[in-house]
Amino acid sequence: FSLHNANAFLDIEEGVLSGKTGFTGNAGYCYVCACENQERTFIIALLGCGWPGNKNYKWQDAKKLLKYGETCFRYENYWKELKIPRISVENGTTGGSRPGQKVWIQGKLRAKETDKKKKVLVRTDEKVSCSLKLEKELQAPVQKGQKIGEVRYMLRDELLAAYPVVADKNVKRISYFWCVDQVFHLFFHSLNKKKKEEKVWKGAFAERFLQGTFCKALFCCFSIKRLEKKVEKLYNYNRQIFWLYF
C-alpha cells in the first residue's frame, strides 16, 4: 500500500519534526509545524496563506518565518563571574582579631556547576543583565552560610535565576565577657613580658597600660552601651590594682 502526505515542507526543509496542513473557506490555507535547528525548536503557525489557486503560498511563508527565527534567535549562556566585595561587621570579632580591629567577611556565591552552564533563548538585540545586591554593613553575630546578598539574572522584566551570596565564616558578637577576657589577657601577657626587662618595666608598662592595648580593649567595652557601667567599674578596679602594685 502507499501513503500520500500533503506536507511538502518535510521535503523542502531539514529538521522538520512534524506538521499539519489545513483549509477552511474563511481561514484559507493554514499550516502549523515544528522545526529543530542547532538545539533550537521553532514552531510556525500560519493562517490565511491564500485561497484556491494559491495553495503553495504557505510553504514560502513558512520558509520566511523559519529563516527569521534562525537568524534572530540564539541560545546564550548568561552566567557571569562577579567580584564580590568584602563587607564589614559591626561589633564583631573572630578568633584572631584584636580589640579595636575592624572585622570583615567575604561573600561567596552559592551556585552549582550545572547552574553555570544554563542557557536561555534570546533575540540578537537582547541582553541578559546581571545585578548584585549586597548588604553594606552587617551587625554581629554572623553565621557561616548566612545569606548576605543575592545575584540576579534578568531578561527584560523576567527573572531568569537568582543565587544567594552567603558569609564565608562565623563572626561572634563582642560581649562583656569577651572584653574582660581580652583585658586580662593583654594585662598578664604584657606583665610577663616586661618582667624580663626589670629596669624599664615600670615606665614602659605604665605607658602601654594607660595609652595602648589596655585602653583599646576597654574602648571595645564602652561601645556596648548596655555594659558601659560594668566596664567602667572594671576599668577603675584594675587601675587601682595597677597603682597599688607600684
Confidence class of residue 132 from pLDDT cuts 50, 70 and 90?
A: very high
Query: Which parts of 48-117 are beta strand (E)?
Result: 73-77, 86-90, 92-93, 103-109
**Is residue 211 scored above 50 in pLDDT?**
no
By the 8 A CB rule, do 117 and 79 touch?
A: yes
| Antiparallel, parallel or unpaired: β 28-37 and 16-24 | antiparallel
Looking at the DSSP assignment, which residues form a beta bridge with residue 119? 77
Q: How many CA atoms lie within 13 A of 57 on its CB side?
A: 15
Query: Which parts of the chain are beta strand (E)?
Result: 16-24, 28-37, 40-46, 73-77, 86-90, 92-93, 103-109, 119-123, 129-134, 137-139, 147-155, 158-167, 172-173
**Is residue 193 scored above 90 in pLDDT?**
no
The SS3 assignment for 237 reads helix
| Residue 135 CB partners (closer than 8 Å, separation 6+) | 87, 148, 149
**Is residue 186 scored above 80 in pLDDT?**
no
pTM check: above 0.75: no
pLDDT in tens, 63-77: 999 999 999 999 999
Pull the grid cell for residue 191: 606583665
pLDDT at 176: 74
Q: Exposed, middle or buried: residue 107 (CB in 10 Å: 0-12, 13-18, 19+)?
A: buried
By the 8 A CB rule, do 219 and 100 touch?
A: yes
pLDDT at 245: 39
By the 8 A CB rule, do 223 and 91 touch?
A: yes
Confidence class of residue 192 from pLDDT cuts 50, 70 and 90?
A: low
- Tell me which amino acid residue 181 is: D
